[in-house]
Amino acid sequence: MPRTDYQLFQKFITKYLPKGFVGINRQDSLIVKIEEQLKTNKQFFYVGDVLQMKILFASNSSHEMFGINPEEITLATFFQRSHPKEQHRHNMARSKTLNAAQELFISKKGQIFQSSHFNQKNTKGGYSNYFYQVKLFYTTEPYETVFVLLIITEAESLKISQKGFHYYIGEDESMFRFPDLDMLSVGRLLSSRELEILHFIAMGFDSDIIAKKLFLSVNTVNTHRRNILKKTGASSTLDLIIKMQDQGVI
């Protein structure tokens, strides 16, 4: 089975949507085939109702990847497992997911794709990098709501650059595929240090305070600030912060 084959997930939606993803037989041939692909790709997935804040079906691979039974998965499970330093960014991404779902429900049509990666607890008690992909879609079948399909990929083998991080949210369905280098390069304008400084600026801290918090010189912080504007082409730090908060980056 090709690593890039996400057609099985669309077949899953087509087959089980009419029943609201309830009462799915894990011995069904499609489920068995999906579980085999998940095991090969080191992935997990679930489908849920965003408006009801309820998980409807989760793959058995949750136990192998996270040590959690699929029946125990909730919408808060993976946020709670995020590294403390990444919980703010993860929370911003979750907020964008919920806002996007509400927008789809209001417009009564469409789908939104979202992806990023986070360090989370692994089965050994440490932290590993996991790549998240979300598909939100509005439907009136079997009732009116917005469903979410989440795929989590163990990302240690994906060779994700330590410079910044991937982030995407939009309507481009081509972004919903097995993560590759082209996909991972999306959103990587700023380094991790520059994003950290931008986050502190958004909190209202000046260069002196940021320098003390990060054990840097004020000159180094100001150099980072200039580089941030140069890389992004933003006219001001305030405009950039507003844009990135809207995107769920900071």
Question: Structural domain of residue 232, as residue ranges?
Answer: 192-247
Q: Say if residue 178 is in the same domain as residue 214.
A: no
Query: Residue 142, preceding bond cis, omega within 30 degrees?
Result: yes
Residue range 139-156: mean pLDDT, rounded? 96
Q: Say if residue 136 is in the same domain as residue 20.
A: yes
Last residue of a domain, one of 159, 184, 209: 184
What pLDDT shows up at residue 142?
Answer: 97
Write the CB contacts of 57 (distance below 8 Å, at least 6 apart in sequence).
16, 21, 22, 24, 46, 47, 70
Q: Say if residue 129 is in the same domain as residue 72.
A: yes
Q: Say if residue 242 is in the same domain as residue 180.
A: no
Q: How far is CA 58 from CA 64, 78, 166, 179, in A?
A: 13, 13, 25, 21
Q: Say if residue 83 is in the same domain as residue 204.
A: no
pLDDT tens figures, 173-210:
999 999 988 888 776 667 778 878 888 998 899 999 99
What pLDDT shows up at residue 227?
Answer: 86
Which amino acid, one-letter code, is at 154?
Answer: E
Model confidence at 117: pLDDT above 70: yes
Model confidence at 162: pLDDT above 70: no
Last residue of a domain, one of 136, 163, 184: 184
Query: What's the whole-number average pLDDT of the chain?
Result: 89
Q: Say if residue 61 is in the same domain as residue 157.
A: yes
What pLDDT shows up at residue 89?
Answer: 80
Q: Specify whether the CB–CB gap between 187 and 249 falls below 8 A.
A: yes
Question: Could you give the number of structural domains in the chain?
Answer: 2
DSSP string, 184-225: HTTT--S-HHHHHHHHHHHTT--HHHHHHHHT--HHHHHHHH
Q: How far is CA 117 from CA 50, 130, 164, 170, 217, in A?
A: 20, 5, 11, 16, 30
Q: Say if residue 219 is in the same domain as residue 129.
A: no
